Amino acid sequence: MACVFVSIGSNIDKQKNIKACLQALSDRFSELLLSPIYESEAVGFSGDNFYNLVARFTTQLTVGELNATLKTIEDEHGRERTGPKFSGRTLDIDILTYDDLVGDVDGVSLPRDEITKNAFVLLPMQDIAADTLHPELKVSYGRLWFFYEKDKQKLWQVALG
């Protein structure tokens, strides 16, 4: 069984889509560990705020199979793929890490570079895996967050209603 971390985000009907995503993941994978949910401004484009969180779970799926499963969940919840890359979305689920794999695996770049670039990924990672080492940098997520330039992006914790 592989230990996987995924990022989850939505800025269209956020409450509904995040809840539905968590149910879909729970139906497919056992024992989800979830970070708090954070709201943040859109990054890379002008749009509604996002809800973001990180989930950890184990799977027997390969990286490619897992990626296809996550894309299916996105599609089941109205993900539109014909618009610009940086645009609003009902649901965005990305593999952050898959065990300690590094490099391109089944077309997925591991670990995902957003971990160290975006507060909306790094803070939730440190919330649930502060002592876990980044597979490539060999530095804990807690330490990465400690040194992260926190004024780059504002985040605030929210609860699902």
pLDDT tens digits along 57-82: 999 999 999 999 999 998 877 656 46
Please report the pLDDT score of residue 59 as a whole number. Answer: 97
Rg (CA), the chain: 15
pLDDT tens digits along 112-153: 999 999 999 999 999 999 999 999 999 999 999 999 999 888
Q: What is the mean pLDDT of the chain?
A: 91
Q: Is the pLDDT of residue 41 over 60?
A: yes
Separation in Å, CA 158 to CA 53, 55, 57, 62, 139:
10, 16, 22, 33, 28
Whole-structure pTM value: 0.91
- 75-84 long-range contacts (CB < 8 A, ≥24 apart) are 76/24, 77/17, 77/20, 77/21, 77/24, 78/12, 78/17, 84/45
pLDDT tens digits along 50-61: 999 999 999 999
pLDDT above 70 coverage of the chain, percent: 91
- pLDDT-derived band at 46 (thresholds 50, 70, 90) equals low
Q: How far is Cα 14 from Cα 1, in angstroms, rounded to an integer?
A: 31
Query: 2-158 belongs to which homologous superfamily?
Result: 7,8-Dihydro-6-hydroxymethylpterin-pyrophosphokinase HPPK (3.30.70.560)
Please report the pLDDT score of residue 79 as a whole number. Answer: 57
Q: What residues does each domain of the chain span? A: 2-158
pLDDT above 90 coverage of the chain, percent: 74
Residue 72: burial class (beta carbons within 10 Å; 0-12, 13-18, 19+): middle
